[in-house]
Amino acid sequence: MTGTVQLHNIGRRRAYAIWGMGLAVYVLAVFHRTSLGVAGLLAADRFGINASQLATFTVLQLAVYAGMQVPVGVLLDRYGSKVLIASGLVCMTAGQLWFSYAESFQSGLAARALIGAGDAMVFTSLLRLVALWFLVRQAPVVTQVTGMIGQMGAVAAAVPLSAALHSWGWTRTYTIAASLGLFLLIGVVLFIKDSPYERAAVERIKIRALRESLTEVWRDPGTRLGLSVHFTAQFAPTVFALLWGYPFLVSGQGLSPTQASTLLTLMTFVALIAGPTIGRWTGRHPYYRSVMALAVVGAIALVWAIVLAMPGPSPLWLLVILVAVTAVGGPGSMIAFDLARSFHRSERYGRASGVVNMGGFVASLVTMALIGLVLDRLAPGGPETYTLNDFRIAMSVQFLMWGFGAWMILRYRQRSLARVSRSPGAMEALRDGDALLPGISRDHED
């Protein structure tokens, strides 16, 4: 931030107020994103669709989300968080309202795409607020808390949404959900301020400079390491919470809808506990951040291997462990954004975060689609004919994604360390616990 003029204090009450308003929007975004999780079977009946078509709802939503990350990062660096968050709210509200009245498969797809477009604008915008409004030592923990409190939206999209759907019906439930965005939009306009620094300090984007800066962002091995961590750690909890966890627990494991919804809720509370813990650890040991991500992924893969190898339905205690360990992938994936912060100065953080954020959602949409294709091949009769053996085979596609992701993390960890070693003092700073590196993420030690 050398050469910029600071107008407001950072890391204090104003910072927390701005962050809190953005966080409320992110909670709603997660709710909209996951609102099909417990409604999958109802949606299959409402639209008369099979497993692949059901998966298409979420795959398209995430494909739009992932595809917009780089454009959103560019717009974020140009216009700031306030405009992007407000725009995202408008898109999500319109999309959810459309979805509440949709009666055809095509109309429902268009509505979910609009929700995905709005959702894509929120998270990286909020991360930029955290990066600019909080102190270096605060940012890793605040980032983790952001991701974890945001998952309270998934809690609301589990048991409460399931109960509302059965009590009020499809249209009324989703219409009420859509209306929440109107109230938050007022708060965004009134309370969010983009930066504590003068606006002139924000990089002005021209087409040629934009192309060159995006190329530089992508070529940096730290960007690819962050993308690899997000790709590998995030998809399992996302796939489970957004689409296939509920059918797996109900149709595959024989749990009641209430038990399945409760386990989905448990995921959020586990993540709330794990998030700050991982945030504090990575803040103290930045040199080992990608190692921590690999440890999280290894634990998730191990528990899934045990559950899928069981000859029959798993006992409830084992399913609780499965859900709890899988949930840790969410905070584990947040390590990716702290890595991006280490390898890019603030004027490019939006673009770098956008690229990194693509990783987990690309992995998620590919995994969701593959599971749907396998289920359709094994159970062409639709959701009512799913068996545990069908899910055992379908859910095993996750191991292909974990293996590929772990290879990417190991590859780009080595390249990133080589990049750090070329900047004088950067490796020593990294080993000493400094996430912002001289010559890389800042010009000099402040």
Give CA–CA dist 257/267, Å, rounded.
16
Residue 199 confidence (pLDDT): 56
Residue 384 confidence (pLDDT): 76
Please, are residues 322 and 305 in contact by the beta-carbon 8 Å criterion? no
Residue 381 confidence (pLDDT): 79
Measured in Å, how far apart are the chain's first and last C-alpha atoms? 10
Question: What is residue 197's three-state secondary structure?
Answer: strand
Residue 251 DSSP label:
I
pTM, to two decimals: 0.71
Residue 211 confidence (pLDDT): 57
Backbone angles phi, psi at 130, to 5 degrees: -60, -45
- Helix, strand, coil in percent for the chain, rounding step 5: 80, 0, 20
- Extract the tokens encoding 365: 């949409």
Paired with 197 in beta bridges are: 6
Distances (CA, A) of 424 to 12, 437, 438, 446: 33, 10, 7, 15
Tell me, rounded to whole angstroms, the distance of Cα 341 from its chain centroid.
17
Give CA–CA dist 365/349, Å, rounded.
25
Residue 324 confidence (pLDDT): 96
Give CA–CA dist 151/343, Å, rounded.
27
- Count Cβ atoms below 10 Å from residue 138 Cβ, excluding itself: 15
Residue 209 confidence (pLDDT): 54
- Extract the tokens encoding 142: 């605040």
Residue 86 DSSP label:
H
Give CA–CA dist 233/298, Å, rounded.
9
CB burial of 148-176 (b: ≥16 within 10 Å; e: otherwise) equals: bbbbbbbbbbbbebbebbeeeebeebbee
Q: Which is nearest to 363 in space by CA: 323, 404, 327?
A: 404
Q: Which is nearest to 237 in space by CA: 257, 263, 255?
A: 263
| The residue to which tokens 């669709």 are assigned | 49
Residue 178, class by beta-carbon neighbours within 10 Å (0-12 exposed, 13-18 middle, 19+ buried)? Answer: buried
Question: Which region holds residue 439: left if phi is over 0, alpha if psi is between -120 and 50, else beta?
Answer: left
Assigned fold of 13-197+207-431: Growth Hormone; Chain: A; (1.20.1250)
Q: Which is nearest to 15 in space by CA: 201, 142, 140?
A: 142
Residue 381 DSSP label:
T
Give CA–CA dist 393/164, Å, rounded.
33
Residue spans of the chain under pLDDT 50: 1-3, 200-207, 443-446
The H-or-E segment that residue 13 falls in is: helix 13-34
Give CA–CA dist 78/90, Å, rounded.
19
Q: How many CA within 13 A on the CB side of residue 360?
A: 26
Sequence-ordered list of residues with C-beta below 8 angstroms from that of 329, at least 6 positions apart, any chain: 233, 234, 235, 236, 237, 296, 297, 300
Residue 294 confidence (pLDDT): 96
Domain boundaries of the chain, sorted by first residue: 13-197+207-431
Give CA–CA dist 126/82, Å, rounded.
9
